[in-house]
Amino acid sequence: MGWDPPKDYETQKQNGFDAVSAYAIGTQVKTFAELVQDIEQRSWQSWQRATGAGIRYIPLVTTGWDKEPRKENPVSWELDHDYHKQPFFPSQAKPVEIAQHLQHALEFVDAHPDVCESQAIIIYAWNEHDEGGWLAPTWQKDGGVDNRRLEAIRSVLRQKPE
């Protein structure tokens, strides 16, 4: 996983990997919509380069980027990361925004079978609550379970023919 598909692929195919992707992409925008736009433009430009280079790629779908909890309680392997100086992070994703981003990625996979041979995507993240993106259910103030993010994703995946 990296951020430059042609370079990453050249390195990793020697290690037996047959596709590349990105784990997460941080940015200094203020809204989740801007984060998605940034990722789709930057990553999808990379995907276009991957298409021209015959590289197998697995697209990234983000669920957010808010490292504030890690600024307050840093983990040892990230003590000197740039985000510790970041004054703000993108707003929390609305379920519908995650679903739209997922839909765009699925459309990209369908439109580029030569690059997306695996017909897979990476959704970051399932349970990274301290990195700002998550799909795992959380508690609501009334004690109920908030699974709206998972339900939004399910609504997109249910539309996809098997």
In tens, the pLDDT along 2-27 reads: 777 778 888 888 898 888 888 777 77
pLDDT digits over 36-77, tens only? 998 888 776 666 666 667 788 888 899 988 888 888 888 898
DSSP 8-state code for residue 20? E
- Report if residue 5 sits inside a domain: no
Location of structure tokens 């433009």 = 41
Domain assignment present for 11: no
Instruction: With respect to residue 4, please indicate whether it lies within any of the assigned structural domains.
Output: no
Would residue 9 count as lying in a domain?
no
With contact defined as beta carbons under 8 Å apart, do 143 and 79 qualify? no
82 or 150: which leads in pLDDT: 150
pLDDT at 153: 94
- Between 32-53 and 5-13, two packed helices, what is the crossing angle to 10 degrees? 60
- What does the block give as tokens for 121? 């995507």
| Cα–Cα distance measured from residue 82 to residue 55, given in angstroms and rounded to the nearest whole number | 30
pTM value surpassing 0.95: no
Residue 82: helix, strand or coil by DSSP? helix
**Residue 53 domain-assigned?**
yes
Q: Count Cβ atoms below 10 Å from residue 33 Cβ, excluding itself.
A: 16
Domain for residue 138, yes or no? yes
- Those residues with Cβ within 8 angstroms of residue 74's Cβ, 6 or more apart along the chain or in another chain: 84
Domain range for 76 is 17-159
Strand (E) positions, the chain? 20-21, 57-58, 60-62, 122-124, 127-128, 133-134, 138-139, 145-146
The tally of domains found in the chain comes to 1
Report for 5-9, 36-40, 105-109, 133-137: range of highest mean pLDDT = 105-109
Question: Does some domain include residue 135?
Answer: yes
The confidence score (pLDDT) of residue 46 equals: 67
Domain presence at residue 12: no
